[in-house]
Homo-oligomer: A and B are copies of this chain.
Amino acid sequence: MPLWCIYHPPGTFEDPTSKQTLARDITTIYTMVGLPAFYVVVNFIPLPPTSMYIGGAPNDSKSKPFIRFSIDHIAVRLPNEDAEYRRVVTKINEILKPHVADKGYGWEFHVGETERRLWSIDGFEPPAFGSEGEKLWVERNEAVPWEGGK
């Protein structure tokens, strides 16, 4: 469900361990609110400094590499309340801190929310948030037939 695309320059997230650790931490953002782990897809897209520009300057600052996170949320649309948005932003920054801030990287993220009814996994309509069907998907950690599903 959440799709994270992480654009990063050389010298950052080069070893698989650093990537998997981040991907696992990102996953907890969603599993802690009850979503299945397999919903969370994290793509690392490395870009050389000559392919990524910030304010027109190449992303080659060795002292402060810049990481750009582009995030799509689909399963749950947040209520239109400042406090709710702030809670999510704070949570994401908390999770990212050891992976970016503590390493001396700059970072930016934005989340787009898209229509849940235009979403499908393995041909299944994902069960409603908090439903019995979703609990089954959490337990199995894969898309399986669920009661009431199409």
CB neighbours (8 Å) of A36 from chain B are 55
Q: Which of A113-145 contact B (CB under 8 A)?
A: 113-115, 117-123, 125, 141, 143
Cβ-neighbour of A117 out of B85, B115, B125 (below 8 A): B85
Cβ-neighbour of A121 out of B42, B45, B56, B108 (below 8 A): B108
In the complex, whether A146 has a CB less than 8 A from a CB of chain B is no
Minimum C-beta distance from A84 to chain B (A): 9
Contact B72 A70 (CB under 8 A): yes
In the complex, whether A111 has a CB less than 8 A from a CB of chain B is yes
Ordered by A's residue number, 20 sampled pairs between the chains whose C-beta atoms are within 8 Å are: A1-B110, A16-B58, A19-B51, A20-B53, A27-B53, A41-B52, A41-B54, A43-B68, A44-B47, A44-B50, A85-B115, A86-B150, A92-B120, A93-B123, A106-B121, A106-B143, A108-B120, A110-B119, A112-B114, A113-B118
- Chain A interface residue count: which class? 35 or more
CB neighbours (8 Å) of A41 from chain B are 7, 52-54, 66, 68, 108
CB neighbours (8 Å) of A54 from chain B are 38, 40-41
Contact B56 A47 (CB under 8 A): no
| Contact of A107 with B122 at beta-carbon distance under 8 Å, contacts A53-B41, A72-B70 already known | yes
CB neighbours (8 Å) of A42 from chain B are 52-53
CB neighbours (8 Å) of A120 from chain B are 89, 92-93, 108-110
